[in-house]
Amino acid sequence: MPKLKSKILVVDDNAGIRSALKILLPMRFAEVELIASPKVLMETMRTFKPDVVLLDMNFETDINTGNEGLFWLSELKRDFPEVEVVLFTAYADIALAVEGMKRGAFDFVVKPWDNAKLLATLEEACKKHRKVGGKEVSGQPAPTMRWGESEAMQQLRAMVEKVAPTDATVLITGENGTGKDVLANEIHRLSNRATKPMVGVDIGAITDTLFESEMFGHVKGAFTDAHADHIGKFEQANGTTLFLDEIGNVPMAQQAKLLRVIQNRNITKVGDMKSIPIDIRLICATNMDLATMVKEGRFREDLFYRINTVTLHLPPLRERPDEIVTLAELFVKQYAEKYHRKAQGLSDEALSLLQRCRWSGNIRELQGCIEKAVIYSETEQVRAADLQLRASELMDEAGPKTQSQTLESAEEQVIRNAMKTYNGNLTLVAKALKISRPTLYRRLKEYGI
């Protein structure tokens, strides 16, 4: 079999492994470079210019967490997005390798490795690198709205088809993970502004101090770190749709400023006096009860009425059971293609298990479950065991949770309870749990809350 005209860079601190790969890899690849430490990785990337990097997950002998591998993966994807990265990991670190694939790694190979599988994985990575022509593949297509057959979803569809062609401000309500962002994309797709991409903002991810700068922009010198002019989200969305997700998390101190911009349709950048007119179509979304928040003085009444000209409610997945199988099969195909896996469908046992799950995190939780299952699966059908669902997640579970409950699930339940107690207010939840808002936000994403 002829050699591929490809360049492979190996980063591994184990001399024995490097020696073995120094013999194996040149049999199939034109050029192979091996380094023992990631400290010279970025310099080697610039000089050697590899097509694929085989990156070990651990380099510190006393710290075997795999986090160093994830760090260097992020560095590689930031500075060399066109280069494919294959992670080299011990069996115990497979979960971290899965996380690595979510962050952009092409695939992972478990030590001790099978020569044929290692070569095949590197070859596939080289083919992908050639396919994209050494250029970054940017911009993913917006997810498609799946309506299902339930009466509630069909009524929602009829409303969307009426509202979308107008410029009416829309408020989308529903639990986390129900697909509010997907619905916003669908409204934009059917609107008269669809020729330009929608601009989305996750309000929960913006700190209070950066709110004005991120939303309205700033001029150079406006504050200590303002080294250049910055265009805010409102100005970016000029002529198109602006989607404000988690609108209930806007701090009270900022709500008046947001209301003024929505009313007047013009912005003033931080540090500037000039007013800039904007032409946007506004869509907001929340999992909170804004009407109750208004009564409790936690959300401005005038802002509430400004953003809910039309209110659309997305039912939770448990009220749309006909969609579970359809969505699961869609996600299997999507992630099998993304992660180069054999999976083409789900076994009968897996489908039965999916339909028994309570899906507290809705579509987002289902999607995450299938993504991990596809990565772990080694057959053409995803099996029930690949789903890794806990008994506590099944609807037919009876009685209180036992002591075998994992620490992870206990933390998840504590956060869910706090979110319910404080009606989804992230500031109050973070304060009650004694963690920072960014930490809370990461946990919410992780657990699909």
CA 50/CA 367 separation, integer angstroms: 33
The tens digit of pLDDT for each residue in 280-317 reads 999 999 999 999 999 999 999 999 999 999 999 999 99
**What residues does CATH 1.10.8.60 cover in the chain?**
317-389
% residues pLDDT > 90 (the chain)? 57
Residue 89: CA atoms inside 13 Å, Cβ hemisphere, count? 26
Q: Is the four-CA dihedral 62, 68, 70, 72 of positive or negative sign?
A: negative
**What residues does CATH 1.10.10 cover in the chain?**
407-447
CATH class name, domain 4-131? alpha beta
Looking at this protein, which amino acid is placed at residue 64? N
The tens digit of pLDDT for each residue in 284-294 reads 999 999 999 99
CATH architecture of 407-447: Orthogonal Bundle (1.10)
Work out whether strand 281-286 and strand 241-245 pair parallel, antiparallel, or are unpaired.
parallel
Give mean pLDDT, residues 351-356: 91
Strand ordering across the sheet containing 107-111: 29-35, 4-11, 52-56, 84-90, 107-111
- When mean pLDDT is compared across 259-268, 394-403, 413-422, the lowest value belongs to 394-403
CATH of 317-389, one of 3.40.50.720, 1.10.8.60, 3.30.450.40, 1.10.3720.10: 1.10.8.60
Tell me the Ramachandran region of residue 11: left when phi exceeds 0, alpha when psi lies from -120 to 50, beta otherwise: beta
**What residues does CATH 3.40.50.2300 cover in the chain?**
4-131
% residues pLDDT > 70 (the chain)? 91
SS3 category, 145: coil
Higher-pLDDT residue of 57 and 259 is 259
Determine the CATH number of domain 151-313: 3.40.50.300
The tens digit of pLDDT for each residue in 30-59 reads 999 999 999 899 999 999 999 999 999 887
Residues 6+ apart with CB under 8 A from 149: 322
Task: Write out the two tokens for 245.
Answer: 């997700």
pLDDT classification of 96: cutoffs 50, 70, 90: confident
Task: Write out the two tokens for 187.
Answer: 């409204």
Closest C-alpha to 203, from 310, 284, 303? 284
